Structure 1
Amino acid sequence: MKLRDRFRQLQDPAVVKAMVVRSVYASMALENQTVSLDRLEALYEQTGPTSPAGAAGR
Structure 2
Amino acid sequence: MKLRDRYPQLQNPALVKTMVVRSVYASMALENQTVSLERLEALYEQTKATPLTPAAATVR
Q: Which stretch of the first structure deviates more once superposed, 40-49 or 25-34?
A: 40-49
Cα displacement (A) at 1:18: 0.3
User: Which residue of structure 1 lines up, in the alignment, with residue 27 of structure 2?
Assistant: 27
Q: Distance in 2 between matches of 1:13 and 1:21?
A: 12
Report the TM-score when normalising by structure 2: 0.80
Q: In the comparison of the two structures, how many residue pairs are matched?
A: 54
Cα displacement (A) at 1:9: 0.4
Q: Distance in 2 between matches of 1:36 and 1:44?
A: 13
Alignment RMSD (CA, Å): 2.0
Identical-pair percentage? 78
Gaps of 5+ in 1: none
Q: Distance in 2 between matches of 1:7 and 1:48?
A: 21
Q: Distance in 1 between matches of 2:50 and 2:40?
A: 18
Gaps of 5+ in 2: none
Q: Distance in 1 between matches of 2:48 and 2:27?
A: 22
**Aligned letter for 2:16?**
V
